[in-house]
Amino acid sequence: MSIPAASRLASYSAPNAEFEIASYPLRPLAAGEALVRVSMSTICRSDIHSYEGHRPSPCPALPGHEIVGAIAALGEGLTHDMRGEPLKPGDRVTWSEYFIPADDYFSEVLDMPQKARGVEKYGHMAATTPPHHHGGFAEYCYILPKSWILRLPDDLSDAEAAPLNCGVATMVAVTEAADIRLGSTVVIQGLGLLGLYGAALAKSRGARFVVGLDAHPGRRELAGRFGVDLALDAATETAELQAAIAAHCLPAGPDAVIEVCGAPEAVAVGLDLVRTGGTFILAGMVSPGAMITVDANKIVRKMLSIRGVHNYHPRHLIEALDFAVANRLRFPFSELVDARYPLEQATRAMRDAASRRVLRAAIVP
């Protein structure tokens, strides 16, 4: 495959504005880069936060970081994926949602590449910033140096593959931090894509019982197919929730609580639910301003481990792929992507996703 002279993308000039289709040139590949023909880009809640102006996003903004595509061309020196599989044009790939500009204390010494200084994310840059094509709402996307690439097996569909590099890899990191093991009991606050994958991951790690909390009845209904044993309305009084789950989480409550609902008021509930000595992982509150008031005495007396998890280490991307491949017949992952839109309908796709009319909207350029 050769590189076309230009390619189309969908960007917006200000928060909540209509998307516009624009054409930008494609340049030759630099060393270590790849160019991908995008086949699907799913809309993540963080894309919606940016679109609605809840966090800064340079405009004209080109969203989309949960991207799948086929390699159109490979730059010099890029011959294998992150675990040594040879790469060639035509191969379908996923890659880390972020890339880092250079070696840095956080990546090299602390082993947290997602926190490297100067880290950049696909779908978070202005379309006017070269090489222009660095987001999923586009026909082509460059994979820039210091990204982590994985070749996809043929039998994994685009819908199963697209969320791997954000939602699924993040939930691998979250369920690892939650220390879920054989026989664990787990409560998950929020049954969107993150919560449903989190339940499936918890089960595959050996959890005995998984409780899901969500205010949306449709999501609670779907949850049973992703490993949630008991789905309850998140709006229920805490004492009632405790009574409902007590018999399933003997002797003293769930070993782990995972927050992926993004609602600050869920923190106080989670602190009450988790057992003494248990683990509480916060991962859903990704926009500034998530202020909370809690009784810190509970954290001390219950000897809780509380941790925030943001994005993931590249090894979690490998684990996400292997988990999806191994469990695609056990859990209906492909059904989570429940609406597809061409580039020209990017505005509708974003608004349907924002209003939760669909679970995971996909742009198919």
Q: Which residue, 46 or 279, is less far from Zn ion as judged by CB?
A: 46
Q: How far is the CB of 163 from Zn ion (least distance, A)?
A: 8
With binding defined as CB under 5 A, does residue 279 bind Zn ion? no
Q: How far is the CB of 63 from Zn ion (least distance, A)?
A: 10
Distances (CA, A) of 351 to 27, 47, 356: 32, 11, 8
Contacting Zn ion within 160-179 (CB under 5 A): 166
Q: Which residue, 231 or 282, is less far from Zn ion as judged by CB?
A: 282
Kindly determine how many residues on this chain lie close enough to bind Zn ion according to the rule CB under 5 A. Answer: 3
Q: How far is the CB of 338 from Zn ion (least distance, A)?
A: 17
Q: Which residue, 43 or 222, is less far from Zn ion as judged by CB?
A: 43
Q: Check: CB of residue 230 under 8 Å from CB of residue 203.
A: no
Burial classification of residue 240, based on how many CB atoms lie within 10 Å of its CB (0-12 exposed, 13-18 middle, 19 or more buried): exposed
Contacting Zn ion within 26-55 (CB under 5 A): 44, 46
Q: How far is the CB of 318 from Zn ion (least distance, A)?
A: 18
Binding mask 117-156 for Zn ion (x = CB under 5 A): ----------------------------------------
- CB under 8 Å to 203, separation ≥6 — which residues? 210, 227
What is the DSSP secondary-structure string of 30-96?
A: PTT-EEEEEEEEEPPHHHHHHHTTSS---SSEE---EEEEEEEEE-TT--B-TTS-B--TT-EEEE-
Q: How far is the CB of 360 from Zn ion (least distance, A)?
A: 11
Q: Check: CB of residue 214 under 8 Å from CB of residue 231.
A: yes
Rounded-to-integer distance, Cα 253 and Cα 249, Å: 5
Q: Which residues bind Zn ion (CB under 5 A)?
A: 44, 46, 166
